[in-house]
Amino acid sequence: MFSSRLPRSLEANPFTTLLAEKRAAGAMLIDLTLANPTQAGFAYPATPLAQPPGHGGCPSSPLAGQQIYRPTAQGALEAREAICRFYRTSRQQLIDPDNLFLTAGTSEAYSFLFKLLTNPGDEVLLPAPGYPLFDLLAELDLVTPCRYPLRRDGQGFWRLDFSHLRRQISRRTRAIVVVHPHNPTGSYLSEEEMRRLGQLCRDHQLALIIDEVFFDYPAAGGPANPVPAVAENTALTFVLNGFSKLLGLPQAKLSWIHLGGPPALRAGARERLEFIADSYLSVGTVQHQAAELLAGYRPAQEEIRQRLASNDAALAAATGLKALPREGGWYRIIQLPPGWDDESCCLELLKRHNLIVHPGFFYDFLDEAVLVVSLLCPEADFRRGLELLQEFLPAPLQ
Ligand SMILES: Cc1ncc(COP(=O)(O)O)c(C=O)c1O
In this structure, the chain runs to a length of 398
Residues contacting 193, CB < 8 A, separation 6+: 159, 160
Q: What is the pLDDT of residue 66?
A: 55
β-bridge mates for residue 126, sequence order: 147
> Domain 14-44+297-392 sits in which CATH superfamily?
Aspartate Aminotransferase, domain 1 (3.90.1150.10)
CA–centroid distance, residue 51 to ligand 1 (Å): 22
* Region 77-294: CATH code: 3.40.640.10
- Write the pLDDT tens digit of every residue in 230-289: 766 799 999 999 999 999 999 999 999 999 999 999 999 999 999 999 999 999 999 999
Q: 54 pLDDT exceeds 60?
A: no
Residue 158 phi/psi, 5° resolution?
-95, 125
pTM for the full predicted model: 0.94
What gap in Å lies between CA 110 and CA 277, rounded to an integer?
12
Pocket test for ligand 1, best of 131, 256, 364 (most atoms within 8 A of CB): 131
Ligand 1 in contact with 211 (CB < 6 A)? yes
* Cβ atoms < 10 Å from Cβ of 222: 19
Residues contacting 62, CB < 8 A, separation 6+: 48, 285
* Cβ atoms < 10 Å from Cβ of 70: 6
What gap in Å lies between CA 362 and CA 133, rounded to an integer?
10
- Counting residues of the chain whose pLDDT is more than 90, the rounded percentage is 83
14-44+297-392 and 77-294 share one CATH topology?
no
For the chain, the structural domain boundaries read: 14-44+297-392, 77-294
Q: Are strands 358-359 and 255-260 parallel, antiparallel or unpaired?
A: unpaired
- Write the pLDDT tens digit of every residue in 68-86: 888 899 999 999 999 999 9
Ligand 1 in contact with 362 (CB < 6 A)? no
